[in-house]
Amino acid sequence: MTILITGGCGFIGRHVAEELLQSGYEVRVLDALIDQVHADAELVVPEGAEVIRGDVRDKDAVRAALANVDGVIHLAAEVGVGQSMYEIARYVSCNDLGTAVLLEAMIGMPVRKIVVASSMSVYGEGLYLTGDGRRLGYVRRRSHHIKRGQWDPLGPDDEPLTPVATDEEKPVDLASIYALTKYAQEKQVLIFGEAYGLDAVALRLFNVFGAGQALSNPYTGVLANFGSRLANRQPPMIFEDGKQRRDFVHVRDVARAFRLALEKPAASGHVINIGSGLAYSIADVAMLLADAMGVPEIAPDIMNKARSGDIRNCFADISKARELLGFEPKYHLENSLAPFVDWVRQTGAIDRGAEMKRQLEERGLVS
């Protein structure tokens, strides 16, 4: 069986390709190899994968890549909440138009399955409970609260709320252009699958980490940003007070989840969370990484400023992934940092965190 991976030369894509090749699949990759992701890193392609350089918005390139393909894993996308708030046309074009071009090119092709990478960002704030145990699916922080440093969201009567693991029943609440494009991607794929009789699955990925991330891209994952700063003996920059909580899932677990989504018929038509099922405060993550990198004395820079599009808490309930995919995380942040640290040391990361902060501040996206 031949699988096309769009964006397959990226961080997640390379691991997905390795997972599929090791499981006996034929793998073809379509990747535009954009500078923001690949400029400062040596291109690593899994042995045995066929690589086509091309943009997912180029219909001719996409149709050529789809020839004799049985399934598609669609990863090609611009990634980054902050950057999406000012490079709007770029994000909408690549993520949403790119998905539309891919799906249109698939019409009449013998592709039987497509799995798309969505994002936890579509939830906005995660799930919260009131003091009496009621679920609140729509929770948003008020700007006047944020400006005075009230970072945690409050209930309808300004009562404190308790963040809990977010399941797929939590309503979507889009807080950034990036989130909007990821939701459009997953809806396009699921609607297309139903209309054309394809098995279609959307995996909502939480914060993915592991060796191989683009360390010099300040809009990539949190851990890569922190690693780049620490490698240059600079403190990790943390917006707000550092107590916001996220779920960190290892890239190898994510790669396995994509293979399972291809193989499990029960997953068809579903959106499924892929995370570790654990919650970590961002400040704790920064200190954990500093310790692993041998620089525990470098404390994070807690900026006590908010970035537009950010949310406070979101971590995954992975019950559905366990039920439909048989998915179980094998790697956790506490015991999986050594390969990532080795990668940071070998790569020679260029720290562009200050540049990212300046770009956001110039546009009034930090308050």
Q: 246: helix, coil or strand?
A: strand
- The strands making up 271-274's β-sheet, listed across from edge to edge, are 50-53, 26-31, 2-6, 71-74, 113-119, 199-205, 271-274
Residue in the structure block whose two tokens are 């909408």: 92
Enumerate helices (H) and strands (E) in the chain, giving the number of each: 14, 17
Chain mean position to CA 127: 18
Q: Are 199 and 3 in contact (CB under 8 A)?
A: no
Q: Are 78 and 84 in contact (CB under 8 A)?
A: yes
- Orientation of helix 353-362 relative to helix 222-231, angle to 10°: 120
For residue 54, which of 81, 34, 70, 35 has the smallest C-alpha distance?
34
Q: Are 1 and 25 in contact (CB under 8 A)?
A: yes
Q: 41: helix, coil or strand?
A: coil
Residue 75 backbone dihedrals phi, psi, to 5 degrees: -110, -15
The β-bridge relationship of strands 248-250 and 207-209 is parallel
- Catalytic residue flag (residue 25): no
Check 25, 91, 123, 178 and give the catalytic one. Answer: 178
Q: Which positions are catalytic?
A: 178
